[in-house]
Structure 1
Amino acid sequence: MNSQHDTEDEQAWVISHQPDLSDIGFELVTPDRNTGLLKQLAHELSPGHPIYGINANVLGAFSGTDDILLKLDTEVEGARYALVHLTWGGTQTPPWPSTQLIADLDEWLASVMPSPERMAEINKFNEARRRREQRRHQLSQLGFYLFMVLVIVTLFLAFMTQVKPEWFGL
């Protein structure tokens, strides 16, 4: 019962922090993906690893990396959470897969969030990229329309070279 309540607390935390988590590439995982990630984790862990033999639940994964955020069922060195970088290889020798134990999710999030200045740079970069993509799309559309006009004019001219004046009563 307590484990169910804990899981609901973590899910509520993830939902309440979703905008910040999205900024750092965090994604929620489906139940199927959760199962697959836990199987991969179990495959990689070996005796001597800090979280070997500990049940866990995947809170989410990070896009573009092989990192997963885990809620541990048992406290390890004062931590109830772990950030694990899966290797997608076979069984690893400790300390692999690399693992960061996390005691407090809020402190962890604050430590990994970019500074406001860095976020402004990231947002500026993303906005410039969005504008470039928009211009590229507009130019692509313009090119298509110009091509269509060229085709129509070519067909018209081809037709007109075949026209006989008597067709129009001239």
Structure 2
Amino acid sequence: MDREWLEPWEKISDDQAMFFKGQLVKEITSTHPLFGLQLMPIGRSEANDDILVSLSTGKLAVVHLTWGNSGDHLWPSTELYDSWEEFVDKKMLEDNFGY
């Protein structure tokens, strides 16, 4: 699916996706809401440490990486979106405003 990305969000390459996936594995513990789901990073924000992740449930998640080795049920912080359209309306457009 070809998607339109607005700054500061951008699509990431397959190599970048694998890099971010490795970091997610380090940070997501058994108490985190994303634990046990198949996660595929698909985008990132150039403004902060947020990445956009496609979930095996069909939803999307914005995950704020901590760059630590292990999180908990709150970290890395996560915002869930039911669809690309919801992500665009509630996150990407807001982040793009005034960027």
What is the TM-score of this pair, normalised by structure 1? 0.52
- Please tell me the residue identity of whatever aligns with 2:13: T
Unaligned runs of 5+ in 1: 1-8, 124-170
2-side partners of 1:107 and 1:53: how far apart?
Answer: 23
Q: Identify, as 1 or 2, the structure richer in strand.
A: 2
Aligned to 1:94: 73
Contact conserved, 2:60 with 2:87, CA < 8 A, in 1? no
Give identity over the alignment, percent. 30
Q: CA RMSD in A?
A: 1.9
2-side partners of 1:100 and 1:83: how far apart?
Answer: 5
What is the TM-score of this pair, normalised by structure 2? 0.86
Greater length-normalized contact order (CA 8 Å, ≥ 6 residues apart): 2
Cα deviation for residue 107 of structure 1 reads: 2.2
The answer to whether the aligner puts 1:64 opposite 2:54 as a matched pair is no
Unaligned runs of 5+ in 2: none
Cα deviation for residue 94 of structure 1 reads: 1.1
Q: Identify, as 1 or 2, the structure richer in helix.
A: 1
Q: 1:113-132 residue pairs with structure 2 within 5 A?
A: 113-114=93-94, 119=97, 122=98
Spell out structure 1 runs of 4+ moving beyond 2 A: none
- Please tell me the residue identity of whatever aligns with 1:88: W
What do residues 78-122 of structure 1 show as CA deviations (whole Å, max 9, x unaligned)? xx11110000011111111000011022122112314xxx95xx3
